Amino acid sequence: MEVAILSDMHIPGQKERIPDAFREHIEVADHVIHAGDFGSEEALADVRSLTSDLTAVYGNADPNDIDLPPVASVEVDGLTFVVLHGIINPVERAVSSSEGVVMNRDDWLDAIADTTRARADEPTVGIGGHTHEVEDTVHDGIRLLNPGSATGVGPDIDATMMTVEVTDGDLDVTLHEA
């Protein structure tokens, strides 16, 4: 089964639309996972119009009344995906900077891995967003993915998303750029 994974669109606040190539990946995927920061109800509705099988979570740039959970789990062909945005909360170590609150990479990895471990049994994959940085790593024994920003939000950031082919509990990840 093919799973399309995306996050951090920020539509319409910072970008206007999902790149056409990514829209095609969403349309043909068997399942779509979105790790938050649609940016608007309209952006969520747009993604929902492209797929009949969506797992999505709330991100810190989403409207407060958007109807999405902070954490979700979905099983695909013997593999459980635990999805969360990865927003900073009071129990995570963070430092203030002139540009806001910054979380270092290890803190982000710990937060995603800890939530994934608490939400599902093996085999599991944790999916997070928030940083707009692509990640595909194993941290504390858990595979963690961050598809980056589907619209390329941020200075010098390409639009990115992932597709994952899941076969009998194994996965093959492909990064797409637009």
What's 75's domain CATH number?
A: 3.60.21.10
């790790």: which residue's tokens? 35
Tokens representing residue 24 in the block:
């095609």
Distance of CA 14 to the CA centre of its chain: 18
**Backbone φ and ψ of 75, nearest 5°:** -100, 130
Segments in the chain forming alpha helices (H): 20-28, 41-50, 105-119
- pLDDT, residue 130, reads 92
The residue range of the domain holding 8 is 2-177
Q: Which two tokens stand for residue 7?
A: 């996050």
Whole-angstrom distance, CA of residue 52 vs CA of residue 29 = 10
For the whole model, what pTM was predicted?
0.90
Report yes or no: 130 and 87 within 8 Å, Cβ to Cβ.
yes
Which of 1, 7, 2, 20 has its CA nearest to residue 145? 7
Question: What's the domain count of the chain?
Answer: 1
Strand ranges for 77-169 from DSSP E:
79-84, 95-97, 100-102, 124-127, 134-139, 142-147, 160-167
Helix or strand or coil: residue 131?
coil
> What CA–CA distance (Å, rounded) separates 85 from 147?
11
pLDDT in tens, the chain (178 residues): 999 999 999 999 999 999 999 999 999 999 999 999 999 999 999 999 999 999 999 999 999 999 999 999 999 999 999 999 987 554 443 443 334 444 678 888 888 999 999 988 777 999 999 999 999 999 999 999 999 999 999 877 899 999 999 998 899 999 999 9
**SS3 category, 25:** helix
Strands 31-34 and 54-56: parallel
